[in-house]
Chains A and B, each alone.
Chain A
Amino acid sequence: MIDVEPFVRTQLERLMPLPEASGRDWADVLERSGHHHRRRRRSARLAIVLVALALLALTLLVAAPALGFRSVADVFGEEPSPSWTWPEGVPGEPIQVPDIVRSANQQLPAKRLDDRVDLGSVRQIVSAGSAEASDAFLAARGINGDVCLARLGRTGSRGTSGSPFACLDDPPKPGAPSTKDQAVFVGSSAGGHRGSVVDYSNLIGVVRADVGRVELELVDGETIELQLNRWRGFGYSTTDPRRFPKTLRVYRTWNSLFRRHEKLVGQVPLQQVNGLAPTPLCGGKYGPCPEGVTP
């Protein structure tokens, strides 16, 4: 029996080869099918639905608080509650315990024994300044297990100074707000290379867990934002008298579905350096002095 398939295929191909495909017109096919119109109708339908959804969302946003309902925006964003805790327990970078901290810890009067800390847990949250004058916030584990904070200052001429550790769970002093009500602890120092001048200013601080933004108003009127480090510490240092700190403001921040919220939770007027004329450091290694200024 003859296998006719190859023969037929060859002969038919020879009898009528593929015609020219130059007449191809896909746009015409789509036009005939009405696909373009359906697509346009579909786009219009989609646009109407999106506009309706946007209007609904806008109406809910605007009208809900006015109607006494909780704002829709708040539904997905809880305002954080105040807390002086850190995920790692005691915050900061481990450091060698300064002698002044060690001796202060050992010489605490009997009535403040609760402020004694575990010296093996001392850490530094933040520091600011220069080799001549710097300030730092330290943290350590208190003997009751809570976190205690202390400020440490170092100056080239006067050595190391500081405040003793104060523990966050301590009962408030009479007339003072409780720790929980304080959104920020700050330490600041200012001084100069001789007694009659002030030519540097350092500011350090640590904020409560609910605080997400720290703002500093300067003497020249400008307001700048200070970045928080991973332990919620911040620092600022300047030798320009016009840029000395004036007022510190801290804000609680949180996010919800539609926006970022913030609320002022602390405002600290900072020590004003009055009566002392700020002068720049000059002479010797600091370089030549401006006219009228003696080194």
Chain B
Amino acid sequence: MWINNDVEQDAQVADLEALYRARYGHFLRVAILITRDQGNAHDAVQEGFAATIRSFPSYRAEGPLEAWVWRAVVNAAKKQQRHPSEAPLEDDDVASAQNGDAAEARLVRTWIASLPGRQRLTVYLRYYADLDYRAIATVLDVEVGTVSATLSAAHRSLRKTIEEVPQ
């Protein structure tokens, strides 16, 4: 019996390795945004994947494996956080914007900074991790409807920011 379990776990580890190799950059980017430190972010990604392997015996395949990993990485990153809530994009995170794009970049940065921590994390998972609503719900351990409502609120906030900021 334990041999069967071990074989199953080996297959899961192989799947996880494929995910790590394909999406390491995406995990690292979100972890950087949460921890505000590249070294800590790398550490969080490593620890998140390791925690996923350790939790395989209790993994019941409820939801996609990637969402399970994102949850572990986000939790590990939160533990490494320099500040109590997810920090917004700061100048040193931002690639140098071209002249024509500077205004839009500033606007988006302002919008992100204005979001409450939970909304900001949902935005990161939606756009930087490229997760669908169901996966985001698994990561944040909330209902899909909550994710939908959170993103709608964030988008409303962005529209408001666009209207307020003089062009």
Which of A4, A33, A45: most chain B Cβ within 10 A? A33
B28 close to A19 (CB less than 8 A): yes
Residues of chain B within 8 A (CB-CB) of A25 are 46
Nearest to B42 among chain A residues (CB) is: A23
B47 close to A15 (CB less than 8 A): no
Which A115-130 residues have a C-beta within 8 angstroms of B?
none
Q: Does A8 contact B (CB under 8 A)?
A: yes
Q: What CA separation (Å) do A2 and B111 show in the bound complex?
A: 16
Q: A15-B109, A16-B95, A29-B53 are in contact. Are A4 and B89 (CB under 8 A)?
A: no
Residues of chain A within 8 A (CB-CB) of B53 are 29-30, 33, 35
Q: What CA separation (Å) do A21 and B31 show in the bound complex?
A: 13
Tally of chain B residues near chain A (CB < 8 A):
42
Q: What CA separation (Å) do A42 and B93 show in the bound complex?
A: 44
Q: Which residues of B contact A (CB under 8 A)?
A: 2-3, 6, 13, 17, 20-21, 24-26, 28-29, 32-33, 38, 42, 46-47, 49-54, 89, 93-95, 97, 101, 104-105, 107-109, 123, 127-128, 155, 158-159, 162
A interface, over-half SS: helix
Q: Does A17 contact B (CB under 8 A)?
A: yes
B108 close to A15 (CB less than 8 A): yes
Min distance, Cβ B77 to any Cβ of chain A, angstroms: 14
Residues of chain A within 8 A (CB-CB) of B94 are 15-16
B32 close to A11 (CB less than 8 A): no
Q: What CA separation (Å) do A32 and B52 show in the bound complex?
A: 11
Q: Does A88 contact B (CB under 8 A)?
A: no
Residues of chain B within 8 A (CB-CB) of A23 are 24, 28, 42
Q: A9-B127, A34-B54 are in contact. Are A42 and B97 (CB under 8 A)?
A: no
Q: Which residues of A contact B (CB under 8 A)?
A: 1-2, 4-5, 8-9, 11-21, 23-26, 28-30, 32-35, 42, 45-46
Which of B25, B93, B101, B109: most chain A Cβ within 10 A? B25
B89 close to A29 (CB less than 8 A): no
Q: Which of A8, A19, A33 contacts B50 (CB 8 A)?
A: A33
Min distance, Cβ A163 to any Cβ of chain B, angstroms: 64
A29 close to B20 (CB less than 8 A): yes
Residues of chain B within 8 A (CB-CB) of A21 are 24-25, 28
Q: A19-B29, A19-B32 are in contact. Are A26 and B20 (CB under 8 A)?
A: yes
B54 close to A16 (CB less than 8 A): no
B42 close to A2 (CB less than 8 A): no
A15 close to B93 (CB less than 8 A): yes
Q: What CA separation (Å) do A5 and B54 show in the bound complex?
A: 36
Min distance, Cβ B52 to any Cβ of chain A, angstroms: 8
B127 close to A8 (CB less than 8 A): yes
25 A–B contacts, CB within 8 A, in A order? A2-B162, A4-B155, A4-B158, A5-B155, A8-B158, A9-B127, A11-B105, A11-B107, A14-B95, A15-B94, A15-B97, A16-B29, A16-B32, A17-B95, A19-B28, A21-B25, A21-B28, A23-B42, A24-B20, A28-B46, A29-B50, A33-B50, A33-B53, A33-B54, A42-B6
Which of A14, A15, A25: most chain B Cβ within 10 A? A15
Smallest CB-CB A-B distances: 10 pairs: A32-B50, A33-B53, A33-B50, A18-B25, A11-B108, A21-B25, A29-B49, A24-B24, A21-B24, A12-B127
